[in-house]
Amino acid sequence: AQTVTQSQPEMSVQEAETVTLSCTYDTSESDYYLFWYKQPPSRQMILVIRQEAYKQQNATENRFSVNFQKAAKSFSLKISDSQLGDAAMYFCAYRVNTGTASKLTFGTGTRLQVTL
Amino acid sequence: GAVVSQHPSWVICKSGTSVKIECRSLDFQATTMFWYRQFPKQSLMLMATSNEGSKATYEQGVEKDKFLINHASLTLSTLTVTSAHPEDSSFYICSAQNPRLASILQETQYFGPGTRLLVL
| Contact: A109, B51; criterion CB under 8 Å | no
State the pLDDT at residue B16: 96
Nearest CA in chain A to B106: A101
Least confident of A97-101, A106-110, B101-105: B101-105
State the pLDDT at residue B103: 57
Q: What are A44-76's pLDDT values in tens digits?
A: 999 999 999 998 899 999 999 999 999 999 999
**Cβ neighbourhood burial of A3 (10 Å; 0-12, 13-18, 19+):** exposed
Q: How far is CA A24 from CA A91, A93, B13, B106, in A?
A: 12, 10, 40, 24
Nearest CA in chain B to A33: B107
Q: What are B41-90's pLDDT values in tens digits?
A: 889 999 999 988 888 999 999 999 999 999 888 899 999 999 999 999 99
Mean pLDDT of A82-111: 91
State the pLDDT at residue B99: 67
Max Cα distance, chain B (Å): 45
Is 80 exceeded by the pLDDT of residue B95?
A: yes
Which 8-state DSSP code applies to residue B55? -
Report how far residue B66's alpha carbon sits from residue B55's, in angstroms, rounded to the nearest whole number: 15
> Which of A43, A48, A61, A105 to mutate to probe the B interface, most B CBs <10 Å?
A43
Amino acid (1-letter code) at residue B17: T
